[in-house]
Amino acid sequence: MSDIVEELDALRVTGLERIEAARDPEELEAVRVSLLGKKGSLITLLRSVGGLAPEERPAAGRTSNEVRQAIEAGLEARRKALESAELTQRLTAEAVDVTLPGRGRVPGHRHLISQIVDEIVDVFIGLGDQVAEGPEAELDYYNFTALNHPPDHPARSGQDTFYVEDLSGDVAVVAGESDVMLRTHTSPVQVRVMEAQEPPIYVLAPGRVYRRDVADPSHLPQFTQVEGLVVDRGITFGDLKGTLEHFCHVMFGADREVRLRPHFFPFTEPSAEVDVSCIICDGEGCRFCGGVGWLEILGCGMVDPNVFRLLGIDPEEYTGFAFGMGAERIAALKYGLSDIRLLLEGDMRFLRQF
């Protein structure tokens, strides 16, 4: 056998090996060009056929055709193999398991505290009230003095009140050294409204309030109150009672019992606390109501004539009532929550229920 035939056979073997080794269509194309291209190995070998003896040429020509065919077949087979491997890989990568459960999106909604405030506001807007607001960093005058708190009232102590350095409201200082505090209730809005407008006054003032309490199941250092104030000619305690009974029935259900208990607030006289019959036991007595059958929901009273006089409203001409309630507490009582801290923890499993 001539050298050329041996070389052609060798080219077939190495060529087919290189074809098998190609890992993707680009590599395969490069192999093809280097074997069969115009400057490829096969052409280069065949150029030397011209220099062969005439009797050697037929065998060399036949072999070179066989080698070309073998290489072309090898290329084609490898191309198909690579394509189907690529397809399989893509299919695996893009596979969608249609049997997996879907991933739903949970639409957001208003926080329970905001919902409750809205509900309370709605009831009183329905009775003709307007909504008023006041600052959260408040002056001692509005938070205490004008509300008939004597100078030594315990609520004024730094134990109960966050005092701040100035009206921007961000630096706590020693109690008693500042006239500015984070309001401890929404009642100062009463004073601001009476200062700004003449009776008749029918307002509702929702807002955040702050107290130096450690958070526990029924206390938060920051919570939400809704304040109500009515000042007009001929307003009686009966109006107060009727208004709050109406509110309790809308909020807690028409079958709730409502009672007023005498109490004391510096800025109302007489003052009362309002209870509704326990939503859990209906008044029988249970753990939720501490066995008493009643739940306290707000403080209220007839505006103290001292408050009127200070603000230039004639207590002989006008009377009025006021009330204040905690929205978190109302939420807890309405939904039987045993711990109001849940409202602020941001646990979606809890909040989504409302």
Footprint on this chain of ligand DAH (rule: CB under 6 A) = 185, 187, 227, 265, 268, 271, 299-301, 322-324
CB of 344 to ligand DAH, least distance (A): 19
**Which CB atom, from 22 or from 322, has the smaller least distance to ligand DAH?**
322
The residue at minimum Cβ distance from ligand DAH is 324
Q: Where are the alpha helices (DSSP H) in the chain?
A: 3-21, 25-36, 41-47, 57-93, 112-126, 140-143, 187-196, 237-252, 305-310, 327-335, 348-351
Q: Are strands 222-232 and 201-210 parallel, antiparallel or unpaired?
A: antiparallel
Using DSSP bridges, classify how beta strands 137-139 and 180-182 pair: parallel, antiparallel or unpaired: antiparallel
Neighbours of 135 (CB within 10 A): 16
Comparing CB distances to ligand DAH, the nearer of 79 and 241 is: 241
Q: Which is nearer to ligand DAH, 252 or 304 (CB)?
A: 304
**Min dist. Cβ of residue 101 to ligand DAH (A):** 49
Nearer to ligand DAH, 67 or 230 (CB): 230
DSSP state of 307: H
**For residue 73, what is the DSSP state?**
H
Neighbours of 56 (CB within 10 A): 16
- Nearer residue to ligand DAH within complex by CB, 74 or 324: 324
User: Of 353, 256, 255, 249, which is closest to residue 295 (Cα–Cα)?
Assistant: 256
Nearer CB in complex with ligand DAH: 41/161: 161
Residue whose C-alpha is closest to residue 134's, from 61, 196, 68: 196
Residue 50 burial (10 A CB sphere; 0-12, 13-18, 19+): exposed
Work out how close the CB of 97 gets to ligand DAH at its nearest, in angstroms, rounded to a whole number.
57
**Cα 176 to the chain's mean position, in Å?**
38
CA neighbor of 303 nearest in space, from 223, 156, 194, 214 = 194
Task: Give least dist CB 136 to ligand DAH, A.
Answer: 14
Report the nearest approach of ligand DAH to the CB of residue 227 (Å): 5
Least Å from the CB of residue 99 to ligand DAH: 57
- Measured from the CB of residue 301, what is the shortest distance to ligand DAH in angstroms? 4
In the DSSP assignment, the letter for residue 156 is: G
Q: Give the nearest distance from C-beta 224 to ligand DAH in angstroms.
A: 11
**Integer Cα distance of 183 and 186 in angstroms:** 7
Residue 64 or 190 having the CB closest to ligand DAH: 190
Please, which residue, 31 or 340, has the CB nearer to ligand DAH? Answer: 340
**Burial environment of residue 9 by CB neighbours within 10 A (0 to 12, 13 to 18, 19 or more):** middle
